[in-house]
Amino acid sequence: MLAFEDIERCLVVTAHPDDVDFGAAGTVAALTDAGTVVTYCLVTDGQAGGFDHSIPRDEMASIRREEQTKAAAEVGVTDLRFLGYMDGSVEVSMELRHDISAVIRDVRPDVVITQSPIRNLASTYGSHPDHTATGEATMCAVYPDARNPFAFPGQPCAELDDWKVSEVWLTLGPDSDSAVDITGQLDRKIRALMCHASQHPDPSGMEERVREWYQGIAEQHGLPAGRSAEAFRVLDTR
């Protein structure tokens, strides 16, 4: 895993608003504190989320974009790219690979954080089909698409210079090998999660579960008692 002070730019690609806040917001806060410029790329607007049946789906999309923008600000992120795909229908298409590659070429990140393309049988929620599809499409965009100057001829991505990402950090997968101590950023992570009010019918219960989850991750990775951590599988893609 690259040292945070060596990461100038980081791109986070997730399927839905709030995915980054569950998986990596503490790490993002630590990165921005270290001077890294972080960009979010949201594949869908989370139109199929929430618990209030009275909210029209197009209105939910607007609500979730606003919630994600507020959550991002809690951890120092102001650059958000919304791709506008339909929640619940994400597939590893060439169109999605193109769109993510275009963002990679534009942002030119040292590190890409995204969701694991591998279904984690121990985590039903973490392995939402949109998550695994987004992870696979992002891996395809990192290699070979974004670095191949001959990819996507005649399409908007081809107008941008190719770019090679140094590392990919996969969140919420079955085989994490690295942990980031987020004890000092945990309250900011929770504030970011709380911004997604449309998704939390029981905010206090959610906060309690989040604190337990990330202390459990820290314990699994050998951190001292009372610490909190986010876990990743780190891939060298240079």
| Domains present along the chain, CATH in parentheses | 7-236 (3.40.50.10320)
- Name the pTM for this structure: 0.96
Residue 126: pLDDT over 80: no
Residue 59: pLDDT over 80: yes
Mean pLDDT of 115-140: 92
Residue 13: pLDDT over 80: yes
| Closest C-alpha to 171, from 203, 208, 213, 212 | 213
Query: pLDDT band at 94, cuts 50/70/90?
Result: very high
Backbone angles phi and psi of 56, in degrees to 5: -60, 150
Q: What pLDDT score does 181 carry? A: 98
Nearest 10 degrees: CA dihedral of 229, 233, 237, 238? 50
Residue 75: pLDDT over 80: yes
At residue 221, what is the residue type? H
Residue 203: pLDDT over 90: no
Residues 120-132 as b or e (16 or more Cβ within 10 Å = b): beeeeebbbebbb
Mean pLDDT of 107-133: 92
